[in-house]
A and B are shown apart, each in its own frame.
Chain A
């Protein structure tokens, strides 16, 4: 069954516990093959009002159906270097041409148990996490809840450094929510906390800070096109050489994108790269690795250091 609503309200009216929204469709097709999609499809293809990138009072509003390719080529996103660097590193050029901002934020886990036709886990209707007791080589080292799969959204990671908001439309109308509300705290096994009747219509970035710097680093085995073992997005605002604002977020290590306020506090007020190593060390503190993910804790300090170095180097 599929529906082609023309407006956001029409789309929202169709939503229920048996429907699933589709924007770019890249992950929907893969999960369809695995038997992981809901029976009814609500196509966003013809819905008006999801493609815009516009300056608004709060900053920049980006429609949820804007593709990553479009986001990366729009001059207005140049003021958000951490977002651009992260978005240009994920997946492949062909996928970035199809994948949308909203889909990228709300994408489902890459855990190999979730994406197995034989396992039904906490995310796919089952009652246990197979990775926790099984093979969790690529999983979390901050154990925040029942599911140990790292959150897959690199864009979500980058947006968390901006304290971005999202616009959510439900039958009762549009609301604005923080990313933290969307991703939760990892205490449940959900990839996002949108309710069944809700549609993410846009992301709202705060007004850019003049001359802010961004950095992104992804630790992988291969050079490209690989999900991160550890990823780090950072923002730095410098006042002469002193760091006035620092934002640091870790990905690939927890069921949610993980902001590291202690590292940020440590960096703010320091000069140049003098506190980068310390910030990296602080970022790894409090990790609770699984038996096979201790190495991720070891990668975090260097990954944070590298992301900060890149941010400092790329004005």
Chain B
């Protein structure tokens, strides 16, 4: 038999499921419309698909559907059916989630744990190690772990709280939030993409005849250019739409392609050799090289695979060069390396396209609904009003979901050809190959201090490997840090036969800070000075001045001993790194606020990928009206609303909050005036919750009833003092004011195994006013965790000969888990930024810049070995220790 009937009970209801041998329980469950359970890694590493099987948590992606026979399944949908479970309430109260995609799995497992714990240990709170062990089978890419610890502990205490600082939290903890992968349209087909098995090859012939006549196959579309040249493993060749995934897979398997496989340029060292295979032979294709940055691409010369230099960020270059060459100065020189980091959002890239009488509707996992709708209209030559992009919930993006990707192109073309809606969802393997990556960098750096102890010069040459993409810029961060110092800064691209890099949370930032802050730490050590004392002198940033004060006062810093004072197996070290980031604004953005019989409705064509846009909007408007944020209806994730910002460049909060406050303030004034006019009030004025007058207070709903519906579209008014540049680049304006961060890390190095463990972290952030404190803290912790994960674990690896990606699963591409993080202390210094509108500066990128350097400096402090290459793998640490003990 090829299928079998399985009798099972799901959420109390008996079901007879017809399944194949390879049907996974997750497919069977989601096939019933129970889409709260998410598929992320597909191999039991992340736990997003966790359900209860006879009360025991299991990964539904590794459970054969046949195993459900005679058993009982409980999913997230059932967990809060009769009122929220303690764990769901605690997750809400502690804000133990961001994008929410891993949340159903965490909540399901935590519920089983908490129920058992409360029975066995009444009145006792489990410690972090116990919670980490219980939830060891779960991963969160946003890094909500610190809050998850707090939530689980709180639930074990039985604390029945009803706080919910995140506006869309209730949808996320119950599995009701529908992501793009959850969209199910009538007659929808499944699209699958055929990818290059080679890093460099020419397609000689392609025969898809068998696929075209296969029953159930509805459309095929080509995704490669006419030349048929393939430049990276995983490059999209074509896509097939069929009635189901299996048929689409069979169709792909039937396609016969002959390739002329060519030698590939694998990695920067190889690609820079004179005889290396060249990625772009001609000028034409170079023009179409993807951009790995968020900024513009300036024309630069090419030589083989090397493009550059880009030196615009330099200042007083000659002084800088003289300073590092002057033997009278103290200099610190080195070559730092960083690895490729994959975005690896837990919701894969996904799109559902549907052509109808009213035009084209695209559901997409995108961090740019407005931009994507515009790009689609342009590419398919449609009037803008006939394109609608929807992204109500996005399971993480981190920069990889800002463009019109192949999954969107495939879905749209296939839907058009098939005359039916088509869904295209990437597999985890695809996500880890082509889903987006932070480029690898080699940074050659020298920093020099003069006899007066000032930073006299910085010379830097950086080479970035973003695969076939270009636009690597580390020099921007070098420029804004210690900005008064002379600097000679050169960025180069080295193209390789690898999947293209995409902007990744602070593009260019983590590699730049890894090198710069390692070098400054080295310089301080060479000068025999305290790392904070040196930075105070070098660093004119008023924001970081406060943060240095804060860091210096930390007991852990006060008690810091000499370098390499531990001599036993475990060596503890305390390290510090500083970081700065830009402040971006999207001035074309608007936020519409409607008041009327429906209460207050806030809308904008922006989106929330876990960064908290809904909450920032609700808090901004509720603050003006003086009502509870949850009484505000926030509608985003739809390109039909007034134009809103994309979620990248840390611009969302700094853009939407002033817009929302602008509209809300206008409305409050107007409502009071109209109310006075309508019913004649004495001494009327707005107060929290309504309008006060000599006879009492009229609550807002009543005011709306009297005045009637009113609408206002708020704008992002310019900052006092204007912007850094008078013009906008790609719709983005660069603010004059820079955000700052300082991180202190307490690490332990196991000299027997080479393992580096972060014991505790303190991160200080100066980014102006904090609009949503709980969410800002969670985002800061998440940035610290992603940075820690980058510093210690994450690394995409390629086969050195074929150039194929080897780390195609979350077993091999490892991200930090609950047990890896240690407590994280977040300190916000909200002072300053008086001239920035609403005093809000983005912090999403800022918070992930310093962790690696801070950890690296702590490893130096622990061992006396200065790490230069990331990640700090056990093999590297052991080699480094051997170096210093020799």
A residues with a Cβ closer than 8 A to B are 1-4, 22, 24-30, 32-33, 41, 43, 45, 69, 91-95, 97-98, 110, 112-113, 115-119, 130, 133-135, 137, 219-227, 229-230, 292, 294-295, 298-299, 301-303, 305-306
CA–CA, A43 and B6, complex, Å:
13
Known A221-B814, A225-B817, A295-B879; judge A94-B801 contact (CB<8 A): no
Interface residues of B in 55-110 (CB under 8 A from A): 56-59, 61-64, 66-67, 69, 109
Known A98-B59, A222-B820; judge A41-B21 contact (CB<8 A): yes
User: Can you report 17 residue pairs joining A to B where beta carbons are below 8 Å apart?
Assistant: A1-B2, A2-B2, A2-B66, A22-B21, A24-B67, A26-B44, A26-B59, A30-B43, A92-B45, A92-B138, A94-B58, A94-B137, A97-B56, A119-B804, A292-B875, A294-B875, A306-B752
Tell me whether A93 and B136 are in contact (CB under 8 A). Answer: yes
Tell me whether B56 and A43 are in contact (CB under 8 A). Answer: no
Tell me whether A115 and B809 are in contact (CB under 8 A). Answer: yes
CA–CA, A295 and B877, complex, Å:
9
Tell me whether B793 and A222 are in contact (CB under 8 A). Answer: yes
- Flag whether B335 is at the interface (Cβ < 8 A): no
- Flag whether B32 is at the interface (Cβ < 8 A): no
- Give per-residue flags for B820-861: 1 if the beta carbon is below 8 A from chain A beta carbons, else 0: 100000000000000000000000000000000000000000
Tell me whether B812 and A302 are in contact (CB under 8 A). Answer: no
Tell me whether B753 and A98 are in contact (CB under 8 A). Answer: no
Known A1-B1, A225-B817, A303-B752; judge A94-B800 contact (CB<8 A): no
Known A94-B137, A95-B137; judge A112-B757 contact (CB<8 A): no
Q: Which residues of A contact B286 (CB under 8 A)?
A: none
Tell me whether A98 and B807 are in contact (CB under 8 A). Answer: no
Tell me whether A302 and B753 are in contact (CB under 8 A). Answer: yes
CA–CA, A35 and B517, complex, Å:
46
Tell me whether B797 and A137 are in contact (CB under 8 A). Answer: yes
Q: Which residues of A contact B62 (CB under 8 A)?
A: 25-27, 29-30, 95, 98
- How many residues does chain B have at the interface if contact means C-beta atoms less than 8 Å apart? 70
CA–CA, A82 and B779, complex, Å:
41
Q: Which residues of A contact B24 (CB under 8 A)?
A: 29
CA–CA, A4 and B67, complex, Å:
12
Nearest-neighbour CB distance to chain B for A293, whole angstroms, equals 8
CA–CA, A32 and B137, complex, Å:
22
Tell me whether A222 and B819 are in contact (CB under 8 A). Answer: yes
Q: Which residues of A contact B297 (CB under 8 A)?
A: none
Tell me whether A135 and B797 are in contact (CB under 8 A). Answer: yes
Chain B CB count within 10 A is highest, among A29, A224, A230, A298, for A29
Q: Which residues of A contact B798 (CB under 8 A)?
A: 135
Tell me whether B61 and A29 are in contact (CB under 8 A). Answer: yes
Q: Which residue of A lies closest to B877 (CB)?
A: A295
Chain B CB count within 10 A is highest, among A134, A223, A298, A301, for A223
- Flag whether B132 is at the interface (Cβ < 8 A): yes
Partner of A134, one of B2, B20, B800, B820: B800
- Give per-residue flags for B869-886: 1 if the beta carbon is below 8 A from chain A beta carbons, else 0: 000011100110010000
Q: Is the interface of B mostly helix, strand, loop or mixed?
A: loop
Partner of B21, one of A33, A43, A98, A301: A43
Interface residues of B in 414-461 (CB under 8 A from A): 429
CA–CA, A43 and B19, complex, Å:
13
Tell me whether B21 and A93 are in contact (CB under 8 A). Answer: no
Chain A CB count within 10 A is highest, among B59, B62, B750, for B62
- Flag whether B16 is at the interface (Cβ < 8 A): no
Q: Which residues of A contact B136 (CB under 8 A)?
A: 92-93, 224-225
Tell me whether B21 and A94 are in contact (CB under 8 A). Answer: no
Nearest-neighbour CB distance to chain A for B31, whole angstroms, equals 16
Partner of B1, one of A2, A22, A27, A113: A2
- Flag whether B411 is at the interface (Cβ < 8 A): no
CA–CA, A25 and B19, complex, Å:
15
- Flag whether B378 is at the interface (Cβ < 8 A): no
Nearest-neighbour CB distance to chain A for B862, whole angstroms, equals 17
CA–CA, A292 and B874, complex, Å:
12
Partner of A130, one of B21, B799, B817, B879: B799
CA–CA, A117 and B817, complex, Å:
27
Nearest-neighbour CB distance to chain B for A205, whole angstroms, equals 25
**Which 8 residue pairs across A and B have the least CB separation, nearest first?**
A302-B752, A92-B137, A223-B819, A295-B875, A25-B64, A224-B136, A26-B62, A2-B21
Known A2-B1, A94-B109, A97-B58; judge A134-B793 contact (CB<8 A): no
- Flag whether B537 is at the interface (Cβ < 8 A): no
Tell me whether A118 and B197 are in contact (CB under 8 A). Answer: yes
Tell me whether A69 and B56 are in contact (CB under 8 A). Answer: yes
Q: Which residues of A contact B874 (CB under 8 A)?
A: 219, 221, 229, 295, 299
Q: Which residues of A contact B814 (CB under 8 A)?
A: 221-222, 226
Partner of B57, one of A97, A220, A227, A306: A97
Tell me whether A224 and B817 are in contact (CB under 8 A). Answer: yes
Q: Which residue of B lies closest to A95 (CB)?
A: B44
CA–CA, A294 and B875, complex, Å:
8
Q: Which residue of B lies closest to A227 (CB)?
A: B811
Q: Which residues of A contact B819 (CB under 8 A)?
A: 222-224
Q: Which residues of B contact A26 (CB under 8 A)?
A: 44, 59, 62-63
Tell me whether B873 and A221 are in contact (CB under 8 A). Answer: yes
Nearest-neighbour CB distance to chain A for B140, whole angstroms, equals 13
Nearest-neighbour CB distance to chain A for B29, whole angstroms, equals 14
- Flag whether B816 is at the interface (Cβ < 8 A): yes
Partner of A25, one of B57, B67, B757: B67
Partner of A302, one of B137, B429, B569, B801: B569
CA–CA, A30 and B809, complex, Å:
10
- Flag whether B319 is at the interface (Cβ < 8 A): no
Known A221-B755, A295-B879, A303-B753; judge A93-B44 contact (CB<8 A): no
